[in-house]
Amino acid sequence: MLHKLQYISQGSTPDIHIQNIESTLNAGVKLVQFRLKNSSNESYIEYAIKAKKLCQKFDAQLIINDNPLVAKACDADGLHLGLDDMNVVEAKKIILNKIIGGTANTFKHIKQRCAEGVDYIGLGPLRFTTTKQKLSPILGIEGYQNILQQMKKESLNIPIYAIGGIKLNDIQFIINTGVYGIAVSGLITNSTNKEYLIKEINKILYNA
């Protein structure tokens, strides 16, 4: 069972990523996506192993962003693939029996991801975010409503995580569209009271 709140790691250096992951786990997050960009495989693996140890300590799951070789090397619980990353079928040959998530921005992408056999989809962005360099067209609440309705019509049942510039007061509106959960980065990273924030988020996600 996937947790409904996914934290996507953030930081100006790999060490800061790890610090942010630790403080987030300490505050109650149970699903972390380690997203280290512009790094060598060796460095990514080194820090992914640290992230995995932290997640084990806090009984949380670790998903590696983009890189199946890193996911395999650190024995992560899963892998998240963007639309321009390795094909899901190829990735499944590298990491066996693990969670695989995929990014989507349109209903066409959703159908593609379902056909590929992913376990969940990160659909977004809700609004503009500085976290991602090549940002897909912004969906807004209406975009989620439309896509979720189309999914219902075609009986596509797969957990959808909303992603991209999400704020606390967006979450109830997002969940009302029918999405499964949310994936956030800056919202938690920049919080001065992470424990309180995560409790508030989970209250909305699990009582909706």
CATH number of residue 69's parent domain: 3.20.20.70
Neighbours of 118 (CB within 10 A): 25
Residues in CB range of 116: below 8 A, 6 or more apart: 87, 88, 89, 102
Number of domains in the chain: 1
Measured CA to CA, the distance from residue 208 to residue 195 in angstroms comes to: 20
Measured CA to CA, the distance from residue 118 to residue 23 in angstroms comes to: 29
Residue 8: per-residue pLDDT: 98
Mean pLDDT of the chain: 95
Sign, CA torsion 46/47/53/59 = negative
Per-residue pLDDT of the chain (208 residues), as tens digits, is: 899 999 999 999 999 999 999 999 999 999 999 999 989 999 999 999 999 999 999 999 999 999 999 999 999 999 999 999 999 999 999 999 999 999 999 999 999 999 999 999 999 999 987 666 666 789 999 999 999 999 999 999 999 999 999 999 999 999 999 999 999 999 999 999 999 999 999 999 998 5
Residue 40: per-residue pLDDT: 94
pTM across the whole model: 0.96
Per the listing, tokens 């979450």 go with 171
Residue 24: per-residue pLDDT: 98
Residue 128: per-residue pLDDT: 81
The answer to whether 66 and 100 are in contact (CB under 8 A) is: no
Range of the domain at 188: 5-207
